[in-house]
Amino acid sequence: MARKQDAYYFDNFVACAEESCHAAHLLRKVLGEFHPDNLQKYLEEIHEIENRADGKKHDMLDKLAKEFIPPIEREDIVALSQHIDTMTDKVEDVLMRVYMSNVQEIEPDALEMTDVVIRCCEKVRDLLKVFSDFRHAKNLKGLIIEINDLEEQSDRLFMASMRRLHTECQDALHIIAWREIYIYLERCADACEHVADTVESVVMKNS
């Protein structure tokens, strides 16, 4: 795992996770400083982030196809790269739902859930930074636990938000729109947990 050429894969994992962080921070900016007329512009911006992440993933998979001995099993590299890419995809999906549902104002619960998504993405990035040295990284297990805890926090916020939505709102269209937005926000945290679970599985297989 110490070979210099192996660093490419681990650096790429981190770079792709950075794109997820950029997307999550952009989503928080859009929701926190919400102006419906600006949504089209921000959709294009977040799609550019998603395209960059896709490009990094495809470059890595192209290199993997030609690699003689990758640093970890090929299927683990593929799975991990796909899970990291899904993090960015799900963040973009949230903004797409806000746009398609013609949302005119943001529910406070969405801001709280988005803050958790940001923390999830940043913890995944931190986890991937130490992944290349997983045999010696003392904080790797702790980061995995933190990501799992954040996903559970997201679940609790999701349930509370859905409860409020269905007990306090009488507008059916509003309920339908926000129900979907909350579902996709919760999926962002799920995607982060899938990365952490995959890293944990790889560590177990290679320890």
Helix (H, G, I), strand (E, B) or coil at 110: helix
pLDDT at 55 > cutoff 60 = yes
**pLDDT-based confidence at residue 1 (cuts at 50, 70, 90):** very low
* DSSP structural state of residue 162: H
pLDDT band at 3 (very low <50, low <70, confident <90, very high): low
Token output for 68: 């003689």
Say which CATH topology domain 4-205 has.
Methane Monooxygenase Hydroxylase; Chain G, domain 1 (1.20.58)
What is the reported pLDDT for 133? Answer: 86
Torsion of CA 186, 192, 196, 201, to 10 degrees: 80
Residues 6+ apart with CB under 8 A from 125: 14, 17, 18, 20, 21
Query: Which helix or strand (DSSP H or E) is residue 206 part of?
Result: none
Q: Where are the domains of the chain?
A: 4-205
Give long-range contacts, CB 8 A cutoff, 24+ apart: 59-65.
59/12, 60/8, 60/9, 60/12, 63/8, 63/9, 64/9
CA-closest candidate to residue 114, choices 18, 32, 15, 193: 32
Give the pLDDT of residue 6: 77
Q: Which of 74-83, 101-110, 138-147, 198-207 has the lowest mean pLDDT?
A: 198-207
Overall average pLDDT of the 12-31 stretch: 98
